């Protein structure tokens, strides 16, 4: 009887672990992958007005960087404007052109349920005597290239620190649990 109970317990614990490992959002560093390695560790000047937001339910699970930075050309701008009207997101402060952003690191997050990935570059803006730790979601996967198993399927909209958009496609890793 005791051996059967232990066997059942091991199976249940194993099932819970496997379930957790597959559902959990996974992450991996992008610091050594183009185009991020060109920017990480540098202080950049923002060429566009940007806005800092705080989400009620955070997309970015990195608690060291609680704010989301966006500019009006970001692909999520419309979504954020809608979220603002229903109270799911709060505007914190607007930064003018010429604001400095120290880029600290870049991480690829992969959702355990949908499998979709989103690269985020993290940094710090110092303004008005305060440090704002921010995440800027940057990069999208071209679905047709990914479907065709083309490794270089990631493209990047023009970030607020870039003078022009980089039109090159890049290869990025998918975040894994292990």
pLDDT digits (tens, 9 = 90+) for 22-53: 555 567 889 999 999 999 999 999 999 999 99
Q: What is the pLDDT of residue 15?
A: 64
Q: How confident is the model at residue 131 (pLDDT cuts 50, 70, 90)?
A: very high
DSSP code of 151?
A: S
| pTM reported for the whole predicted model | 0.80
pLDDT given for residue 70 in this prediction: 92
Average pLDDT over residues 110-119: 64
The answer to whether 27 and 110 have CB atoms below 8 angstroms apart is yes
- The per-residue pLDDT of the chain, averaged, comes to 84
Asked if residue 18 has pLDDT above 80, the reply is no
Let me know: does 108 contact 173? Beta carbons within 8 Å: yes
Q: What is the mean pLDDT of residues 63-67?
A: 87
Facing residues of 155 across strands? Answer: 140
What is the mean predicted confidence (pLDDT) over 134-161? Answer: 91
pLDDT at 157 over 90: yes
Using an 8 Å Cβ cutoff, are 152 and 173 in contact? Answer: no
Q: Which residue has the higher pLDDT, 175 or 131?
A: 131
The encoded tokens of residue 65 equal 């960087």
CB-CB neighbours of 162 under 10 Å: 17
């Amino acid at each position: 009887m005791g051996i059967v109970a232990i066997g059942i317990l091991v199976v249940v614990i194993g099932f819970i672990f496997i379930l957790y490992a597959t559902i959990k959002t996974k992450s991996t560093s992008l610091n050594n992958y183009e185009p991020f390695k060109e920017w990480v560790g540098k202080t950049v000047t923002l060429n566009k007005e940007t806005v800092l937001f705080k989400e009620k339910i955070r997309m970015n699970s990195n608690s060291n960087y609680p704010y989301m930075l966006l500019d009006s050309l970001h692909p999520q701008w419309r979504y954020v404007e809608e979220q603002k009207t229903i109270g799911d997101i709060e505007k914190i402060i607007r930064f003018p052109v010429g604001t400095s952003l120290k880029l600290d690191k870049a991480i690829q997050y992969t959702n355990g349920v949908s499998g979709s990935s989103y690269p985020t570059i993290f940094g710090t803006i110092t303004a008005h005597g305060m440090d704002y730790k921010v995440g800027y979601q940057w990069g999208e996967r071209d679905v047709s290239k990914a479907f065709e198993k083309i490794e270089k399927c990631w493209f990047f909209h023009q970030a607020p620190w870039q003078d022009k958009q980089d039109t090159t496609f890049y290869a990025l890793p998918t975040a894994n649990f292990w």
